[in-house]
Amino acid sequence: MRSVVSKTNVPLEIIAAAQALEAGKLVAFPTETVYGLGADAENPQAVANIYAAKGRPSNHPVIVHIAPGADISYWAKEIPAEAEKLIAAFWPGPLTFILKRADHIPAAVSGGQDTVGIRCPSHPVAIALLSAFKGGKGGVAAPSANKFGHVSPTMASHVIEEFEQEVQPGGLIAQVLDGGQSEVGIESTIVDLSRLATHGPVLLRPGHISAEQLAAVLGVMPASPDAAAPRASGTLDAHYAPHTPVVQVAVGELDDVVQQLQAKGRTLALMSYLAHPAIHADAWRHLPNDPVGYAHDLYAGLRELDHAHADVILVEALPQEKIWQGVNDRLRRAAFDSRDVLEKMLGN
């Protein structure tokens, strides 16, 4: 499935998936960031079914995915020069723009807001699907293919695990396309270009494409979101969380916290990136000590540790440097109420 798909030789699975989308059904598909749960962006009922499957509030906007070279002015009514420059630099790829929504595009896709999120992914299977769907002229609305608030999927098996009910014959999801493990591993960088005159470019969600990379193209550093900015679900305080509580622990405190927890009879899973041979954990996943490798394995690691059903997942806190911004953002939300959880377990 990972091979590049030529237009004259489109696999039947892709054609079937494109037809299912055209018929208003849901299809899960791989992207280079995470797997998406897709529907025809211009079919409000199909978009509503995404919300139903995810258990997500319907005022949360979803990203519209388009094929390489598709006409972005069909979706957005003003295309600023900044968008053109970023498209030239980063598309297809893990970057989403928020632009002013064209009047004929249903509001359902943007949770009623007057903007629209657009992205052209680089995964070959996503490109094949988007090129086959409506002859490459359509848009596929797709949030990450997980239940609301849960860890995003980076493999087809994660999607099937998330949507056990919905992938049954006759269920809400018609097909799950398998494109192997997502290369990037965390969701796309989102930059809001819809209020340039008043706010300049705003970084709504950090990701693989960094603020510095955006600044190099834009000539200005994108601002951080203010309180008045539209709420993006990936920016809610608690998100991307496994079922087991996640607690981030500073490297220097780890041995002590582990000892205290084990003295209280607690079981623990550990996600490390430095070596900790002295610690005995009930489950252990070691991630690469670089932000790109760490992002690639982060969600699969959290899911694997979740399966150990320990009392807590301890995550060795990462450096606070800019290059770690994307993964630190996801970990902070996965470990949102972390300190309270730890206090309770230690009975302090």
Stretch binding ligand TXA (CB under 6 A), from 10-18, 69-77, 111-119, 172-180: 111-119
Q: Establish if 60 lies at the interface with ligand TXA (CB under 6 A).
A: yes
Near ligand TXA by CB under 6 A: residue from 20, 47, 218, 232: 232
Q: For Mg ion, give the closer residue by CB, 122 or 188.
A: 188
Q: Establish if 182 lies at the interface with ligand TXA (CB under 6 A).
A: no
Strands 63-65 and 115-119: parallel
> Binding partner of residue 61 among Mg ion, ligand TXA, none, CB under 5 to 8 Å per kind?
ligand TXA
User: In sequence order, what are the beta bridge partners of 316?
Assistant: 249
What stretches of the chain adopt beta strand conformation (E)? 26-29, 36-40, 63-65, 95-100, 115-119, 140-141, 173-176, 189-192, 202-205, 246-249, 268-272, 283-286, 312-316
How many CB atoms lie under 10 A from the CB of residue 171? 13
For 237, half-sphere exposure in the C-beta direction (CA atoms, 13 angstrom radius) is 4
> Binding partner of residue 14 among ligand TXA, Mg ion, none, CB under 5 to 8 Å per kind?
none
Q: For ligand TXA, give the closer residue by CB, 102 or 308.
A: 102
> Binding partner of residue 30 among ligand TXA, Mg ion, none, CB under 5 to 8 Å per kind?
none
Q: For ligand TXA, give the closer residue by CB, 150 or 285.
A: 150
| Known binding positions | 33, 56, 65, 115, 119, 142, 144, 152, 188, 205, 240
Spatial CA neighbour of 180 closest among 3, 21, 50, 62: 3
Those residues with Cβ within 8 angstroms of residue 152's Cβ, 6 or more apart along the chain or in another chain:
34, 35, 144, 145, 146, 186, 187, 240, 299
Near ligand TXA by CB under 6 A: residue from 93, 117, 245, 291: 117
Give the total of residues touching ligand TXA (CB under 6 A). Answer: 29
Q: For ligand TXA, give the closer residue by CB, 272 or 328.
A: 328
Strands 312-316 and 246-249: parallel
**Residue ranges in contact with Mg ion by CB under 5 A:** 144
Kindly state the smallest distance separating residue 15's Cβ from ligand TXA, in Å.
Answer: 21
Kindly state the smallest distance separating residue 90's Cβ from Mg ion, in Å.
Answer: 20
In the structure encoding, which two tokens stand for residue 234, read together? 């990936």
| Known binding positions for ATP | 56, 115, 144, 152, 205, 240
| Known binding positions for L-threonine | 33, 65, 119, 142, 188
Q: What is 251-294 written as a DSSP string?
A: GGGHHHHHHHHHHTT--EEEEESS--TT---SEEEE--SSHHHH
Q: Verify cis geometry, omega within 30 degrees of 0, for the bond prior to 92.
A: yes
Q: For ligand TXA, give the closer residue by CB, 66 or 254.
A: 66
How many residues comprise the chain?
348
Near ligand TXA by CB under 6 A: residue from 43, 188, 244, 338: 188
**How far apart are alpha carbons 148 and 281 in whole angstroms?**
29
Provide the terminal-to-terminal Cα distance of the chain, rounded to the nearest Å.
52
Q: Which residues bind ligand TXA (CB under 6 A)?
A: 31, 33-34, 36, 60-63, 96, 98, 110, 113, 115-117, 119, 121, 142-144, 187-188, 190, 204, 230, 232-235
